[in-house]
Amino acid sequence: MRKLLNTLFVTTPEAYISKDGQNVVISLNQREIFRIPAINLEAIVTFGYMGASPGLMKLCCDNGIALSFLSPSGQFIGRLQGPIKGNVLLRTRQYQIANTPDQALPIAQICIAAKIQNYRNILRRFIRDYGQNNHVMAAADALDNFKRQALHTSDTQSLIGIEGIASNTYFAVLPHLIIQQKAEFPFNGRNRRPPKDAVNALLSFAYTLITHDMTAALESVGLDPYVGFLHTLRPGRTSLALDLIEELRAYLGDRFILSLINKRQITPAHFIQQAQTITLTDDGRKTIITAWQQRKRESITHPFLNQTIEIGLLPYVQAMLLARFIRNDIDAYPPFLIK
């Protein structure tokens, strides 16, 4: 099983990243505040505008460390990587499937059906924990129907339509799952680019973190993260990563964010209102990332492998399973489903 190495998150916008020998060094106002050996890292994610030195970039390329640049609000800017070492035969087969609708659609259906099922499982768990709620129960029943429809669609556009309706149904009852700080965290549906409320800002931030991990996971198993089976191809868009995080959004993203709010780890003090948008403060990003790193080190039993793994390895496991399916080592791609 792959070792869960560290991802270094640099959340202070004024921080500058450089190298000293084989060490990654973080400086603030030309003063060193942190260093770590490059051998201990698999990725660096920086939320800022000071950038990184050319020497640091080469160190990352030489050691297979993915270096991603995001804006202070979490919007993806760009990503640096070294030479691609993926299996050319695996990628060729991936491209063939992506260009053959009859072969790409079943994979997309599985991803979306799993996403809807995980939405439903989160709602049903809420009912088990907090008692009967007619609104949440009705949404859970509707999602079960949408899941079945997703598995029987005839084309991608129909699948996208069902996914949209299912997501709206789920997010319509998400406010019921906010038990603490209800008044401080109002939520009236999903919005983004930019998010208009604190809950949407948190969800977008979490999804960005998950997408980063999934992109790295796909590259590690030899797949091309930019060529997917559901999301359309677009320059700079990690379409396959977006396909695979669909099934993980609810478990890794939504449940995580709800926990931060309900445990009061995140409060309104962690946000800044700017015109019609809201963004996380530097302290807010640090709070989320600290909790995120702790969460990734918790263990679960993977439902398909029946093995105990760290939660942070879920993207790598799902990427590995997809690669096995594309190589015809297994009969179907097994998505991750919440129990």
CATH number at residue 243: 1.20.120.920
135 and 233 both lie in a single domain: yes
Question: What domain count does the chain have?
Answer: 2
Looking at the domain assignment, is residue 337 inside a domain? no
Is the pLDDT assigned to residue 265 strictly greater than 50?
A: yes
Residues 28 and 163 in one domain: no
Answer yes or no: is pLDDT of 133 > 90.
no
Q: What is the pLDDT of residues 145-201, one digit of tens each?
A: 999 999 999 999 999 999 999 999 999 999 999 999 998 999 888 887 788 889 999
338 located within any domain:
no
pLDDT over 70 (residue 4): no
290 versus 216: which is more confidently predicted?
Answer: 290
Per the listing, tokens 């450089």 go with 18
Return the structure tokens found at 269. Answer: 């003090």
Residues 71 and 157 in one domain: no
**How far apart are the C-alpha atoms of 334 and 225, rounded to whole Å?**
18
333 in a structural domain:
no
Whether 103 has a pLDDT exceeding 90, the answer reads yes
Q: What percentage of the chain exceeds 90 in pLDDT?
A: 52
pLDDT classification of 1: cutoffs 50, 70, 90? very low
Beta bridge partners of 79: 68
Q: For residue 27, give the CATH number of its domain.
A: 3.100.10.20
Helices (DSSP H) in 196-307: which residue ranges? 198-220, 239-245, 255-262, 282-296
Give the pair of three-digit tokens for residue 310: 């760290």
The last residue of one of the domains, among 57, 80, 103, is 80
Q: Are residues 59 and 98 in the same domain?
A: no
Q: Report the pLDDT value the prediction gives residue 69, as an integer from 0 to 100.
A: 82
What share of the chain in percent tops pLDDT 70? 95
What residues make up the domain containing 94? 88-326
Binned at pLDDT 50, 70 and 90, residue 86 comes out as low
Q: How much is the pTM?
A: 0.81
pLDDT in tens, 287-336: 999 999 889 889 999 888 888 888 988 998 899 899 999 989 889 999 99
Mean predicted confidence (pLDDT) in 269-280: 84
Cβ contacts of 256-260, under 8 Å, gap ≥ 24:
256/206, 256/291, 256/292, 256/295, 257/199, 257/202, 257/203, 257/206, 258/177, 258/178, 260/202, 260/287, 260/288, 260/291
Mean pLDDT of 82-87: 66
Whether 174 and 251 map to the same domain: the answer is yes
111 pLDDT above the threshold of 90: yes
Quote the pLDDT of residue 89: 87
